[in-house]
Structure 1
Amino acid sequence: MELLGGIQRMEHAIQTPVGDPAFGSRVSHAVAQLKAAFAVHVEQTEGPSGLYAEVVDDAPRLAPYLNTLVGDHRSVWTALDQLEGHLTDEHPPEAVRRDADRLIREVWQHRQRGADLLHEAYETDLGGET
């Protein structure tokens, strides 16, 4: 599953009316899907053969910015775990929706920072660095 699809499923799930008996199960299912998609994303980006290693090889000047993206990964994992916990300990649906909305924004911002970094690495011509 792709990260974008996981985000969209979460957005769709939290649009369920909080009074709908299916709200909790829809959000719970969306959290599970987003966690799976995020796990794939982290696997593809971090590590010695991941995308971030490739960026460091191709554009070493951007290495410090990768720390921010890796930090985002830890933050998103924490938010996913907290949201999952709120679903099992029966937080008010309005609070679950707020937490999910905050998580969605965090993941969107992470994706944008990653896209900006890739653009900087591969589309910016500095003359001499590829």
Structure 2
Amino acid sequence: MELLGGIQGMQHAIQTPVGDPAFGTRVSHAVAQLKEAFAVHVEETEGPSGLYAEVLDDAPRLAPYLSTLVGDHRSVWNALDELEGRLSGRHPAEAVRRDADRLIREVWQHRQRGADLLHEAYETDLGGET
């Protein structure tokens, strides 16, 4: 599953009414799928031959932005782990929904920052940077 699919799955799961007995199961399943998709995303971007290494080679001026994206990864992992913990505990469903919604926004923002970085690296002409 791609990251976009994981996000959409989470969005769909939290639309389940909180009083529905399937709410917790659906959100738990969505968290597991998002974690799997996010793990693939991190490997594809942070890995030794990943996207961030390529961007760093092509546009070294963007190194600080890459560090921000790596920090995003840690933050999203923490949020995923927290949400997973809340699901296994006795937290109110509405609080779980708010946390999941916050996580979704965080992942969307991360994706946008990544898209902005790629645009800056490959679409912006700085007059001969190598």
Q: TM-score, normalised by structure 2?
A: 0.98
1:41-77 deviation per Cα after TM superposition (whole angstroms, max 9, x unaligned): 0000003211000000000100111000000000000
Letter in 1 for 2:101: D
User: After superposition, where does 1:78-89 map in structure 2 within 5 Å?
Assistant: 78-89=78-89
Aligned match of 2:26: 26
Structure 1 stretches of 4+ moved >6 Å: none
Aligned match of 1:13: 13
SS of the residue aligned with 1:16?
Answer: coil
1:63-111 deviation per Cα after TM superposition (whole angstroms, max 9, x unaligned): 1110000000000000000000000002100000000000000000000
Unaligned 5+ residue runs, structure 1? none
Count of residues paired in the alignment: 130
Determine if the alignment matches structure 1 residue 50 to structure 2 residue 50: yes
Aligned match of 1:2: 2
Aligned match of 2:100: 100
Q: TM-score, normalised by structure 1?
A: 0.98
Identity of aligned residues (%): 89
SS of the residue aligned with 1:125?
Answer: coil
